[in-house]
A and B are shown apart, each in its own frame.
Chain A
Amino acid sequence: MDGTQDKGNEPMSSDVVVSLQDLHKSFGSNHVLRGIDLEVTRGEVVCIIGPSGSGKSTLLRCVNMLETPSSGTITVLGRELTDIDCDIDEARSKIGMVFQSFNLFPHMTALENVAVAQRKVLKRNTKEAQETSRSLLARVGLHDKENSYPAQLSGGQQQRVAIARALAMNPDVMLFDEATSALDPELVGDVLAVMQALAQEGMTMLVVTHEMGFAKNVADRVVFMDAGVIVEQGSPQQVIGAPKEERTQSFLSSVLNH
């Protein structure tokens, strides 16, 4: 941290939404992130790919501080989350997150799942929260499921409710942590379609994924990670179509040729 800068009022270059600087994260002796620098600009869709254990999920979970980094700085929308004075709850409400295991609240209906944080965090009244939730459920194609409990929904439907739940906070950036990895193959398409529509509407997205097709067609930039570092990044054509690094090449050949 640079003491000469006034962080609170520092005008970030306006279109940088997420900025990670020299990020390190260790779990005990396991050094998972080894110096990550990454910037995501407004409206950009960045896909992070890489072998399992490469640190991509940890990286994503650092962006909203579900994991506290061991060192380095995380700046989202001009707010430095790693600063001890930062109101982390307020910052998180502007960062949507979608999990591999959906994590819907099982004791609430789909509508309540989408409405609860609007009421408790944004302090919207029940009626307003429900109206917003209905239109969001319609947007993810689930207008007829508002009274269903998560256990009554398929995995794909649950994940779409989870996306609606995150969108209800009007986030400035959405994080997707292997959002389709837990789904049956035939349900993946619906969720990817919702994500693609979101990308086309200009949402800033940081997507950890194994779906190379999605990365190729939707991403503005693809980041390949291995062993806790960013090995290579660039347009999908560059990274997936013509990777320069040997590690990227061997990873891609193993996922694309199976």
Chain B
Amino acid sequence: MALSKRKKAMYMRYAMYVVSIAFLIVVILFIDWERLGNAMFRWNIVKEQFPDILTKAAKNTVVFTVLGFAGGLSFGLLFALMRLSSIRAYRWFAATYIEIFRGIPLLVTLLILGFGIPIATGWKWPNPYLQGAIPLSLVASAYMAETIRAGIEAVPKGQMEAARSLGMSYTRAMTTIIIPQALRIIVPPLTNEFVLLIKDTSLISVLGVTAATKDLARFGRDGVNQTANATPLIVAGLVYLAMTLPLTQLVAWMERKTKAMSR
């Protein structure tokens, strides 16, 4: 056996191609395409989903996402600054908050805050959008706080020293010098958080929504119940993709750009 290492690697690559193509052929030949199409992609049902899936369901998903993101970003910035504070109690509080909300599944948080608190206190959520968006933003803020903190810490220490040596206060230095630089670092990961939020809004439907506040996932599920067919879920999935794919592409583009700049 006098196969050189590189030759071996070359034959290995050929073998991989052959295996993948064989697998594809098997899948194409042995799947019952008609049955699959009937159960999951009936054109007349696809058409029935429109326009409500966009004008109502997708709109609600966007509203939940934007509310959750705005709240998450504001609280996230607050907790990030608390984590970096020189006051021990602030650091401790923010760290505890972050660990708790990152450690509990969103579904559980939604149920506790959406149902548990009203039952325990007699207080009612004034608005079904807030009932979903506030627990969502509390969890999002825990993740974003860590992202923002990492971004602020990535700004070289000399920047703060230079700003302070010019007579700027800590707050002034943060707002004019540090945070603008940190933002450039954290925009790609924050966009990823936004994509995660879009998908996480699908959990809000466990809170029992009205027809007016149905999100995309709930709209798809209800469609399945009405039509006894999986097509509405497939369409809902495609609408999610239409929202998330441009954003993930944007992140990839931004990351390529920063890489090119730092070269």
Contacts and interface: CB of A to CB of B under 8 A. Distances in A.
A121 B168 contact: yes
Interface in A9-40: none
B96 interface: no
B171 to A, nearest CB: 10
A107 B176 CA distance: 10
B169 A97 contact: no
A133 interface: no
A97 B158 contact: no
B8 to A, nearest CB: 46
Nearest to B184: A107
A132 to B, nearest CB: 14
A105 B158 CA distance: 10
Contacts of B199: none
Contact of B169 (A89, A96, A104): A89
Contacts, number: 60
Interface string B15-54: 0000000000000000000000000000000000000000
A64 interface: yes
Contacts of A101: 156, 158
Given A105-B159, A105-B177, A107-B184, A97 B165 contact: yes
A189 interface: no
A229 interface: no
B176 A116 contact: yes
Contact of B158 (A92, A99, A117, A120): A99
A103 B167 contact: no
A64 B181 contact: no
Contacts of A107: 180-181, 184
Given A101-B158, A116-B176, A120-B172, A93 B166 contact: yes
A201 interface: no
B156 to A, nearest CB: 8
A110 interface: no
A99 B176 contact: no
B153 interface: no
A221 interface: no
B159 A117 contact: no
Contacts of A104: 162
A103 B159 contact: yes
A86 interface: no
B158 A166 contact: no
A89 B177 CA distance: 16
Contact of A99 (B161, B169, B184): B161
Contacts of B163: 105, 117
Residue of A94, A101, A103 ringed by the most chain B CB atoms within 10 A: A103
A53 to B, nearest CB: 19
A64 B156 CA distance: 19
Query: Contact residue range for chain A?
Result: 20 to 34
Contacts of B156: 101, 103
B165 A89 contact: no
B102 interface: no
Contact of B162 (A89, A105, A121): A105
A198 interface: no
B166 A166 contact: yes
B164 interface: yes
A92 B166 contact: yes
Contacts of A99: 158, 161-162
Contact of B167 (A105, A162, A169): A169
Nearest to B165: A97
Interface in A78-129: 89-90, 92-97, 99, 101, 103-107, 116-117, 120-121
A247 B209 CA distance: 81
Contacts of B165: 64, 66, 92, 95-97, 166
B174 to A, nearest CB: 12
Contacts of A105: 159, 162-163, 177, 181
B184 A66 contact: no
Residue of B156, B162, B181 ringed by the most chain A CB atoms within 10 A: B162
B166 A121 contact: yes
A117 B169 CA distance: 11
Contacts of B177: 105, 116
Nearest to B261: A151
A89 B168 contact: yes
A126 to B, nearest CB: 14
7 tightest A-B CB contacts, nearest first: A93-B167, A103-B162, A117-B166, A103-B158, A97-B165, A121-B167, A92-B167
Interface of A: 64, 66, 89-90, 92-97, 99, 101, 103-107, 116-117, 120-121, 162, 165-166, 169
13 contacts: A66-B164, A93-B166, A94-B167, A97-B162, A103-B156, A103-B159, A103-B161, A103-B162, A105-B159, A105-B162, A116-B177, A117-B167, A121-B172
